[in-house]
Chains A and B, each alone.
Chain A
Amino acid sequence: MSLQPLGIVVAYLLLALGVGLVAYRVGGSDAEDFYLASRTLGTLVLLFTTFATLLSAFTFFGGPNLAYQAGPEWILVMGVMDGVLFAILWYVIGYRQWLIGRAHEYVTLGEMLGDRFASPGLRGLVAGVSLLWLFPYVMLQQMGAGEALRGLTGGAVPYWGGAALITLFMIAYVMLAGLRGVAWTDTLQGLFMLSVLWVAVVWILGSLGGLGAATRGMVAANPDFAALGGGLYTPQFIISSAVTIAFGVTMFPQINQRFFVAKSATVLKRSFALWPVLVLLLFVPAFMLGAWAAGLPIEVPEGANVLSVLLSEYTPGWFAALVVAGAMAAMMSSSDSMLLSGSAYFTRDLYRPFVRPEASDRREAWIARIGVAAFALLAFAASLSRPGTLIEVGDTAFSGFALLAPPVIVALYWEATTRDGMLVGVAVPQILYLLHVLVPPVSVAVGGTTVSLLARSYAGWDVALAFMILAAALTVGVSLVSSPAVDEDAARFAVGGD
């Protein structure tokens, strides 16, 4: 196989980098512009930059892979979680944070909570937990890129080569652009991806003989695929995935920081209402392609992305390369958003408060860049061991973030929340969940039946769901029995009116 597709991919990545650079020159050079583009993002840019951040390897390659193996019901899971549940949380958490952040000029979630509860400890804890779960998610992008390039070039570029390429671009990009750069390229890429995806659908359906024929082929190969549910898709799986992902997404540093950057409430409102439409336009074609591929005589090697294989089989080489380039660029920009937000969390919430309060801005900027490079390289090293499928790795990260959401929602809406309540509500569920992720399950015999301890799921339910409830209960419970510290200031979270 040739290396020509690689040329197209690299050219596209360079182009994206160029756009980011131009955008960066337009903006200012202070921290608020670097991290928040001076809180001036409009509807289109905010919508697409948030969306492109979601449009990561998880959705773009993991989703079709899952549809290929288990059936297209993943469309519904992503629909309920992204189109409806996340949109509602966008209002419940996002709008509230925007109102509070605008009044007090907050840049990160940790900063907002730390200020309200007068607790640098809470600030550092939230930042630390976020960075911990960001790691597997950055790794996910590198895994996705490695597979995508290998599939596209028929193995000429090895897995590690693709992963290394995107790591390099990620680092270069974050060092040179800022949120404004990332947001601009996200918008271009979101629009680009949406268009090429639909072209791909038309192209592939054309060569398969239309929609009806494609679905008939899929059903003939897997009679179960047309039926709702069955196999992997149990109600427990659907509800667990949708809930943990939707809540988890709101606590992702790069998404959560977006809540602070809207220019006006109108921008937030428009994005909110457009959310289900965008979900429909993107996920239905992407995942149906994966599901249709199940009825086609194509070979998808172990671990490969079905979308790359499908495209290189049914569309001209240059077009397949363009789609993969677009997907990789989208993954790159979502990784950039993650690294950028991660570096904001690291320097503002950990380095400055705990290591060197007197650090100069210049020094802080350097620490941020070195931190980004180190973080990306470590994630790259970890991605080489391939600890699971894209969906598995992503799901673990989403669940970890999801545990942060209940305490944050309680704090945003309940004035009587105390510092102790927050610290316990954040820390305890995290420790418990980490134990379940890191320690292998143990079976214990209790009264004649065996009970599995430390398992990731019980009767099909993700254990993270229970910890989310526990997190809310602990936050409320401990707040009720503890009294607020003298310097806590609930008024900081007031949003007017009542």
Chain B
Amino acid sequence: MRSIRDWLWVVAFVVLVVFSIPWFLWGTSTVVAGLPVWLWWHLGWMGIAAVTFGLFTRHGWDRLMGADTGTAAGPRPDGGEKP
């Protein structure tokens, strides 16, 4: 069964996708430090996405896929090279 943590990852992904476009800045033409303000949002958001993805690979990757065969402390099927 899916735990709350699994669903939180799904929500995080949805938020990442939806706000990749800063809809609330629609039509804004403010230029900050030589670039449109929405482009700064993009720079920051991609950084946040990379960090979120990094955390996901450590804490959610196999759980969410249902590929985890052992307990949390047990052997995991990731990281191993193909025999």
Q: Using a Cβ cutoff of 8 Å, how many contacts connect chains A and B?
A: 141
CB pair B22 A211 closer than 8 Å: no
What size tier do the contact residues of chain A reach? Answer: 35 or more
Q: Are B21 and A72 in contact (CB under 8 A)?
A: no
Are A497 and B54 in touch, CB under 8 angstroms?
Answer: no
Complex CA–CA separation, A394 to B40 (angstroms): 28
A386 at the interface (CB under 8 A from B): no
Q: Are B28 and A228 in contact (CB under 8 A)?
A: yes
Taking the nearest CB of chain A, how far is it from the CB of B79, in angstroms? Answer: 5
| Least CB distance, B47 to chain A, in whole angstroms | 7
| Interfacial chain B residues near A228, Cβ < 8 Å | 22, 25-29, 36, 38
Contact of A230 among B27, B31, B65, B67 (CB under 8 A): B27
- Residues of B within 8 Å of A498, CB to CB, are 66
Closest chain B residue to A90, Cβ basis: B53
What is the bound-complex CA distance between A497 and B77, given in angstroms?
A: 10
B73 to chain A, nearest CB (A): 16
Interface residue from A85, A102, A272, A275 paired with B17 (Cβ < 8 Å) = A85
Interface: A388 (CB within 8 A): no
A266 to B62, CA, bound (A): 11
Q: At the interface, yes or no: A245 with Cβ under 8 Å from chain B?
A: no
Q: Which of B27, B65, B78 has the most CB of A within 10 A?
A: B65
The smallest beta-carbon distance between A294 and chain B, in angstroms, is: 13
Residues of chain B contacted by A216 (CB below 8 angstroms): 31
Within 8 A of B (CB), among A214-266: 214-216, 219, 223-230, 235, 238, 263-266
The answer to whether A265 and B77 touch across the interface, beta carbons within 8 angstroms, is yes
Q: Is A280 an interface residue (CB 8 A)?
A: yes
Q: Does any Cβ of A come within 8 Å of B50's Cβ?
A: yes
**B39 near A284: Cβ-Cβ < 8 Å:** yes
Binds B, one of A75-83, A171-179, A336-344, A438-446: A75-83
How near does chain B come to A77, taking the closest CB pair, in angstroms? 8
Q: B interface, how many residues as a size bin?
A: 35 or more
Q: Does B57 count as interface, using CB distance less than 8 angstroms?
A: yes
Q: How far is the CA of A264 from the CA of B56 in the complex (A)?
A: 17
B20 touching A39 by the CB < 8 A rule?
Answer: no
Q: Which B-chain residue is minimally distant from A264 (CB atoms)?
A: B81
Is A96 close to B, CB under 8 A? yes
The answer on a CB contact under 8 Å between A84 and B49 is yes
A219 to B46, CA, bound (A): 25
Please pick, from A99, A265, A280, the residue contacting B43 in the complex, using a CB distance under 8 A. A280
Q: Is A88 an interface residue (CB 8 A)?
A: yes
Q: Taking the complex as formed, is A448 at the interface, i.e. its CB lies under 8 A from any CB of chain B?
A: no
Residues in A with CB closer than 8 Å to B34 are: 210-212, 214-215
Flag whether A496 is at the interface (Cβ < 8 A): yes
A395–chain B nearest beta-carbon distance, Å: 18
Q: Is the CB of B29 within 8 A of A227?
A: yes
**Residues in A neighbouring B78, C-beta threshold 8 A:** 264-266, 269
Chain A 144-188 interface residues, beta-carbon cutoff 8 Å to B: none
Which residues of B sit under 8 angstroms from A80, Cβ to Cβ? Answer: 17, 20-21
Q: Tell me if A273 and B82 are in contact (CB < 8 A).
A: no
By a CB distance below 8 angstroms, the chain A residues around B17 are 80, 84-85, 88
Asked if B7 CB lies within 8 Å of chain A CBs, one says no
Q: Could you say which residues of chain B place their CB within 8 Å of the CB of A75?
A: 39, 42
Known contacts: A84-B16, A212-B34, A230-B27. The answer to whether A269 contacts B61 by CB under 8 A is yes
Q: Say yes or no: B46 contacts A263, CB within 8 Å.
A: no
When the two chains form their complex, are residues A72 and B69 in contact, meaning their CB atoms are under 8 A apart?
no
Does the CB pair A88–B79 fall under 8 Å?
Answer: no
Contact indicator A269/B26 (Cβ below 8 Å):
no
Residues of chain A with a CB closer than 8 A to B67's CB = 99, 495-497
Contacts of B33 in A (CB 8 A): 211-212
Chain A residues 478 to 498 lying within 8 A of chain B, measured CB to CB, are 495-498
Q: How far is the CB of B39 from chain A (nearest CB, A)?
A: 7
Determine whether A87 belongs to the interface, using a CB cutoff of 8 Å to chain B: yes
Any chain A CB within 8 A of the CB of B35?
yes
Q: Given A83-B46, A497-B67, verify A91-B36 contact (CB < 8 Å).
A: no
Contact code string A266-283 (vs B, CB < 8 Å = 1, else 0): 100110111111011000
Is A133's beta carbon under 8 Å from chain B?
Answer: no
Interface residue A12 (Cβ < 8 Å from any Cβ of B): no
B39's partner among A72, A229, A270 (CB-CB below 8 A) is: A72
Q: CA separation between A390 and B47, bound complex, in Å?
A: 29
| B43 CB → nearest A CB, Å | 6
Chain A residues contacting B49 (CB-CB under 8 Å) are 83-84, 87, 276
CB pair B53–A273 under 8 Å, yes or no, is yes
Across the interface, do B39 and A497 meet the contact criterion of CB distance under 8 Å? no
Q: What would be 29 A-B contacts, judged by CB atoms less than 8 Å apart?
A: A73-B38, A75-B39, A76-B38, A83-B20, A85-B17, A87-B53, A91-B56, A95-B65, A99-B65, A211-B33, A211-B35, A214-B34, A215-B31, A226-B36, A227-B27, A228-B36, A228-B38, A238-B21, A264-B80, A264-B81, A269-B57, A272-B53, A273-B54, A273-B56, A276-B47, A284-B42, A496-B69, A497-B68, A498-B66
15 more A-B contacts (CB under 8 A) besides A73-B38, A91-B65, A264-B78? A76-B21, A79-B45, A80-B17, A95-B65, A99-B77, A219-B31, A226-B29, A226-B30, A227-B28, A228-B28, A235-B23, A263-B82, A270-B57, A495-B67, A496-B69
